[in-house]
Chains A and B, each alone.
Chain A
Amino acid sequence: MALLEVKDLKVRVEEREILHGLTLTVNEGEVHAIMGPNGSGKSTLSHVIAGKPGYEVTDGQILFKGEDLLEMDPDERAAKGVFLAFQYPVEIPGVATMTFLRTALNAQRKARGEGEYSTPDFLKKVREVSKSLNIPQDMLKRGVNVGFSGGEKKRNEVLQMALFEPSLCILDEMDSGLDIDALRIAADGVNALRSPKRAMVVITHYQRLLNYIVPDFVHVMSRGRVVKSGAKDLALELEASGYAQFEDA
């Protein structure tokens, strides 16, 4: 079943068109990689799906489980199951990570008409997931991402993914700023979340990440459009030939 349908999407930022008619369909259980050079519009796509302000959709639509995503506020999208793992997760001093996790989880559950998690269940779940991601307990007491290393911030994003159990995960440049060991831990966390009901869109500049999170499909973006789609081998092809061939497309 189609989980995400992006149809002929045109997006502007301050009078400049960034996406010029992008189409993409992601079905349940699939992992799609979106690759492309800097400035091709990869991150814009992820921001528009998550509902970040500052982008003007001038044409096209985004359907999520058949519903018009663009009509929803970012928090409604999250409650429906859309999760964006940020390229640069923000630091929020004064908001303890645990408080944040619990508030967010319960806000999503409330929006879906589900009951709040009980404290023991919540704590048990956080402990389980954080252990598998190698996140020390004392990190959870600190302010959200405050003083976290690049790797810790990304692991914190994966922790949230595991807790919130979204049906669509968009990973925006997850590999940026990570060394190989940090990348492996984060990628293992993501792989553990792959399931027949959950889809993932992995946005990356480099093929390297796709050695760890192996996609079903690869799309190449250039100048605001998908210019080529294929199976996972396309990523290797790109690694060899580079993006230059698409620059004039």
Chain B
Amino acid sequence: MNVAVAKTGNGRAVSDLFASAEGRLPGSSAVGAVRREAFETYERLGLPHRRIEEWKYTDLRALVGEVLPLAAAPDAAALKRAAEAVKAHAIAGARKLVLVDGVFVADLSDVKTLASEVSVKTVREVLANEANHAAGDLLQTAAIDAVISLNAAMATDGVVVSVADGTHLSAPIQVIHVATAAGASAFTRSHLRIGKGVRATIVESFVAAGKASGYQVNDAVVLWIGDDADVAHIRLMDDAPDAVNVTSQFVTVGANTKLNFFNMTTGAAVSRLQGFITLAGEGSELSANGVNLLQKTEHGDTTLVVDHAVPNCVSRETFRAVIDDRAHSVFQGRIIVRPDAQKTDGKMMTRALLLSDEAEADNKPELEIFADDVSCGHGATAGALDDSLLFYLKARGLPEKQAQALLIQAFVGEAIEQIADDNLREHVIGIAERWLERRS
């Protein structure tokens, strides 16, 4: 029913997007076929819009309009700017994997240090390997929508990381996506395979170098975690204020594993993180926390689908939004409990702090429960800063903005405090503080 819509207007431009990029997209002929098929799916669907239920609050046709042409591979000047951005955004002690405008850059990455603990390849080399008949699988995911299909069609690079069973990583791995271009798109797709009994912290950072502006990021991450693992997965999206970032994550969790996921959105004019997390092994615990810090006219959407496919798993989602000016925060949380998934314990809680009368928070919790012996729930609150607390702080000498900042930090602090690694937590607090300083 959307076919007619997709074919009109920007439909023509959409075809040009793929045709003009095709020569630069890595892959064997088999991979090319997968890409073309994915692109046809995207062409048929067009950008998601409000009449598609999952995108009701984030109408990309209205908010973004068109997909920008593929960013050129970074030249020497771009790499120089990227190097500075990496320096500014690197977490102390972490090992870096850097993607610049959708291209992996070994010179900016800690490939050698990482090699002793994990295996790292690039998506480009796997896709281009003619001998690997399964290479096309790298572009396949369980869930499909228009932006995921577009990512499969257009992905230029990404990292394929494999952590062997029993490895305890001695330092976090930080994947840094740097944008240096203006008015162009980067499509990346990464695969992370975390073996049995692994302890690991994986951070993904999205940053802009220098004056990079008006760019678009479409990222996809496939994260597979084995049994008995303990993993922290942190995503920090701090793109340029006029950028677009749409990220899709596909996470599968084994048995008796702990996964701590944390997302913080502090950048981009329009962003959506859609996470599809499947608890596929019994006895696992998922803690998913998110913070949206939005100002001006920013639109930030966090959509999480947690699928309890097996019995005896616990999931906790805590989401906080701080919304200023005319910004718009969206949280959609769906908990699915499959018929066999008895003794599931799944809860989600969202809290929105509205700093202006024109700020907007939309919240859509959904429980789809097919088992009969479960404990599931959700809750939501929205409100302004407490006047009595503000007055107390002002009566002690704190100017209005500083009093607000202290209370905002307290509001998001609870989520940030759950990050165990000291350097990483300080890094995240630093990003939140810079967001507070940007408030007008």
Contact = CB atoms under 8 A, between A and B. Distances in A.
Given A78-B395, A90-B392, A94-B414, A73 B406 contact: no
Interface in A69-109: 73-75, 77-79, 84, 86, 89-90, 92-95, 99-100, 103-105, 107-108
Given A53-B387, A84-B395, 18 more contacts: A73-B394, A75-B395, A75-B396, A75-B397, A75-B398, A77-B395, A78-B395, A78-B396, A79-B397, A92-B389, A94-B410, A95-B406, A100-B393, A103-B402, A104-B396, A104-B398, A107-B402, A164-B397
Contacts of A111: 397, 399
A160 B396 contact: yes
Contacts of B386: 90
Interface of A: 50-53, 73-75, 77-79, 84, 86, 89-90, 92-95, 99-100, 103-105, 107-108, 111, 143, 160, 164
Interface of B: 386-389, 391-400, 402-403, 406-407, 409-411, 413-414
B407 A78 contact: no
Contacts of B395: 50-52, 74-75, 77-78, 84, 86
Given A103-B402, A103-B406, A107-B402, A164 B387 contact: no
A50 B243 CA distance: 45
A205 B436 CA distance: 43
A99 B433 CA distance: 15
Nearest to B387: A53
7 contacts: A51-B395, A104-B393, A105-B397, A107-B397, A107-B398, A111-B399, A143-B410
Contacts of B391: 52-53, 74
Nearest to A163: B396
A73 B399 CA distance: 8
Nearest to B417: A94
A107 B409 contact: no
A74 B400 CA distance: 9
Contact of B407 (A75, A86, A92): A92
Contact of A95 (B387, B400, B407): B407
Nearest to A74: B394
A69 to B, nearest CB: 13
Contact of B400 (A50, A73, A89): A73
Given A92-B407, A94-B411, A95-B407, A107 B399 contact: yes
B410 A95 contact: yes
A140 to B, nearest CB: 15
Contacts of B389: 90, 92
